Structure 1
């Protein structure tokens, strides 16, 4: 084959090589450079027997994560963790190492997960760590430089720019000022890019299933109060958070408010009651029902009751007389028990909400176990929940940090392929005879 015959083919191969180089960068580039691939060096044995110390795992971002996926997440205190998802609840993930018998203490949200396991290279992480040493890195740079210089040579001699220009110089009769092969190079690049976009977009579904959980929150609020003699408290009434002195007051009024909140329509029914639970350090406990079971037909309610400490004393006296165990102090727990079922949006659910307000009880006083000045969390308990579900969403392809709709990518690829075909016809009509005459001249 004559040298002139090789020029169009080499131009196409050159364009293909450039596109493949770009694709390789796009696939394997880290997030800091606009890519989607993170590189994790295994430094423990928690994921054995599959992964071992020094292995290099490649992680790619995903739209959603499911039970069984191996993912990497950022633990605020420890750093990067590479473990398997074993449960999902209330929008948080429970993970565990395959070689561990315990769950991770931290439960990340989806936004804290860096990506899902793609593949790994055994022991590659050990060599990566060696390259971080200045001497090794300098050697690698020099090696790449030598290879680059070698590739610029032909038959051991450097290419001369003037020779290349002479070989590519077109006939003086040509009305084109640019090298026709430059046009072929550009058309080839566009064509290869179009084929890659078409391959990627047509191998991805137009729609994807994403998690669409309906979230809700149970809110509770405790209050207690009682009338007391003057000059004991700041006001003439014992208020929430104050200690209760048994000598001046042996009963208190308890108020508990509840609300179920969601950003969707809520319909619930259920039951509610309140217990006073007496406990000691041995594990003994006894319950007193201070609010009997009642029906719930709304997502919020307020209830009230009177706690008679004389009744509590009777339970304690009976325990001590029969067991012979005398305790100086007991624990008294007020426990509302809310059991509801119904629907949020179009999804059904069941929920139990049983917060506790805990006191220390002795012969002289009743005090909250939490002695901090701010009892907001104790008096205002909350419990979040979610109804698991999914929905369809337009699928996307990530490119340079951007999310491109799959359907749009398909349309773009079709137009690009069409434009490439038209451009090839144009190139053949405009430069075909010129290239053919050049080949004939070169053969003489």
Structure 2
């Protein structure tokens, strides 16, 4: 009866799991949902490497939502935030940790779906659980679990020559793990294992905080593009009225030059100076503008160079020092101080003579690239090491809670079914548990002159039978179950339901004191 109930319960649980797996599989296969395992740092700090994100199709998408779209010619998707656009003309995506927007503009019907579920480090666990070694172990466990649950072993002890006449043991409970069916004993073992795993994983997970504070080095890519223009009027020197970089500016037609610069990188402040120098070693710095704060990832600025004034400053220094005043080198330097404290000092190098202003490094000097690394305080998830793997404390807490709840559920179910399957009286419990030792016989009196010892519990009688290598004789009369082990000279007896022994004396002899 217990075995059938246990198998029925197992079938129901397996069916429930199968239904859930089937529903999830149908949803995933139908394309209404997808599982995304993140990699890279483009969405930090929202998502981290190895997180699991479920995305589902939606009738509409809005700016600010995180959504996924397929990358062309690649078996991957991009999971970024919608920053602008619409479903008809295409959405503009950008990673929270990226400096620039994505080059693709997918329309609404081309999106895989928007993020609805986030499991930190869940992708690492999914990859581990679906790896070939783990799947092989699970398959082996499923194939061998049923036969192992039904296997039993019996051991008999060698017969000994002597035993005490006065033997007593504590009363046994009516329900013990040893008396459970093999399938329920396996369930108890599984529940105990789940509880142990839950405690082992839960103690370090719950004994500390979920997050830790630290510093993270962030690399910022920066670039400065330069250009200059000068109003030269109508003359034979130029085809138009404006001189543009990288052409020289002839001073007979223009002595004022506008320098334009465009910055791409982290937001911050900018101030511009003109650094002057001569071959003789004289140096001076002339402030042009700033400081000016900007909050976007790019900044456009313009400064004006008065060539006569700069030349006059160099000549005044030459008059004092006696060194030559030219040729004069002019470096226009916009200094960027980022919000993270990093400095970026690109320069546009120009040469000034009495005849012209020229670009020192040619067209290569019109664009300057660089990068900076800053330490930024960050809050990261506390990680736990587990057999060479690392998981976050939040995931460990969740898994430990699931394990403990599963263990509690298994043990409660085992207790319920064990109580239902337990026999209604002690004699039935003895017959079920010790069936291999019992031999049913007709009621029989003890041989005359043989001492009879009444033991207080049946397990004591069973131990005596195993010790002597004997079977337990069993009969029932007047509602009293009698169990007897007969040694060469002594009869050991236990009565189940002995409180209902009839008043008439039993035709056996009692042990003498």
Which structure ranks higher in relative contact order (CA pairs < 8 Å, sequence separation ≥ 6)?
1
Q: What is the TM-score of this pair, normalised by structure 1? A: 0.42
Q: What is the TM-score of this pair, normalised by structure 2? A: 0.37
Query: For the pair shown, which has the larger CA radius of gyration, 1 or 2?
Result: 2
